[in-house]
Amino acid sequence: MRITLAGLCAACALLAGMPRPSAEQVCAGDTLGVSRVAEIDTTGGPWFGTPQGDPSFLATGEVVLTFDDGPVPKYTRPILAALAAQCVKATFFVVGEMVAEYPDVVKEIAEQGHTIGTHTWTHANLKRLSDEKAQAQIEATFTAAEKAAGQPIAPFFRYPFLSDSESVVAYLKSRNVAQFAIDIDSFDWRTGDPKSVIRRVMAGLERRGRGIVLFHDIHASTMRALPELLSLLKAKGFKIVHMRARTAIQTLAGAQPPVKETKHLTSRTPRRISVRHRGRHRYVRARDL
């Protein structure tokens, strides 16, 4: 019966436009693993996470791991390795500028079976943009991420700064794109201490009992915290849920990245990538990533 169900699921995924799993992953008995794959119908742009999402989506003890703002090779790749060591799958909400800089890492994320969603092109606060500019931020990133992944990606989107607007919410609903908030913030952007990240996540899970957890794969604190955190989740009996989309994003022809203000740079000026979260803003030199 198990083989029959697996075959039916693979066939459905193929027909729906999502990539067919290459083979069922075999996990060691002592790993955390994935307890449940949640196949999401994104019709109408449903919300996930507090406060708009359905609170009954996750059962007690269930956890969804999500990572924003990447990819950044020196952090994203060790994070992928930590997830693989525990046979765990996550969702990565990628930023368009980073996708353009590191398409090979996006491809690795996809090839390792993780879900790819998007997070605008420049990590822009969409509430402050015109409808036209907000839509360009969204659509260009879906197009670039799908191209980099080399396969269809999920119609999953998370708002930078968790800042939405009525017009963008309506637009994503019309595009059948699932909209993501969070339940638990790791606050990895506030600290370089991995122990602090672990404490915050575990405290949030102990308090709520379940949740969609926000990390960022652009911070050393996240990279260093993850191996111990995953082991702790297993020890405490938490279960990982992998969110997948029933159908792939339908990218729009001609979607182009937003026009960027040109700056006069000398040959000695390092290229910089914008990294922002919840009011904090810093630039990172590309050669340092």
Catalytic residue list: 68, 216
Q: How far apart are CA 125 and CA 134, in angstroms?
A: 9
Q: How far apart are CA 248 and CA 111, in angstroms?
A: 16
Output the DSSP codes for 74-101: HHHHHHHHHHHHTT---EEEE-HHHHHH
Angstrom distances, CA of residue 157 to CA of 117, 136, 190: 6, 14, 23
The three-state secondary structure class of 155 is coil
Closest Cα to residue 237, out of 52, 119, 61, 71?
Answer: 61
Burial (CB count within 10 angstroms: exposed 0-12, middle 13-18, buried 19+), residue 268: exposed
Q: Are 90 and 244 in contact (CB under 8 A)?
A: no
Handedness of CA 82, 59, 195, 159 (dihedral sign): positive
Q: How far apart are CA 275 and CA 48, in angstroms?
A: 24
Q: How far apart are CA 86 and CA 79, in angstroms?
A: 11
- Maximum distance among all Cα pairs of the chain, rounded to whole angstroms: 64
The three-state secondary structure class of 244 is strand
Q: Are 157 and 180 in contact (CB under 8 A)?
A: yes
Strand 156-158 vs strand 239-245: parallel, antiparallel, or unpaired? unpaired
Strand 280-285 vs strand 272-277: parallel, antiparallel, or unpaired? antiparallel
